[in-house]
Amino acid sequence: MNIKFTNTDAWILMGFPINDEGVSLSELIGRCDAINHAIPTKGEIEIALTKGVQSDIVVQDGNRFKLSNEFVPLYEEVYKSKGGLFAFENLHKKLKKLIINQSNDLRISLSDKEFKLACEEYTEQWTKLLKNKK
């Protein structure tokens, strides 16, 4: 089965850094907010991460998620394009052109508590940052 990515999926997947550490849920939320000035919903994150894991674009490592090495060149190309990190539409266009088969049946499911805690952690970090700038 081919996996179809939406613009929302691309926005969330664009929140992944190109490094070996990946991101925690709260870091992903923060990066998505920086990219699109919005916090994705629990459902949007679950869908994007599930598609990412099922397509082998994303690797889950404990409570962190990172890009698979196979897709790093695609992300580097998108980052270097006009708009860079903020042009998640460029990632969406590239993903739509690819035929990406589902490689597994893994599903990412977040509890309401887990999502709420991640949002609170992101908010606390942002609040600390703003206070330190004064």
Looking at residue 128, its pLDDT comes to 77
Whole-Å CA distances, 39 to 15, 36, 79, 80, 116: 11, 8, 21, 24, 12
Residue type, 61: D
- Taking phi first (over 0 means left), then psi (-120 to 50 degrees means alpha), and beta for anything else, what does residue 110 get? beta
Exposure of 79 in the CB half-sphere (CA atoms within 13 A): 12
At 106 the three-state DSSP class reads coil
Exposure of 102 in the CB half-sphere (CA atoms within 13 A): 12
Which parts of the chain register pLDDT below 50?
none
- The residue extents of the domains of the chain are 7-132
What is the per-residue pLDDT across 29-47, written as a single tens digit (0 to 9) for each? 999 999 999 999 999 999 9
Mean of per-residue pLDDT scores for the chain = 92
At 81 the three-state DSSP class reads coil
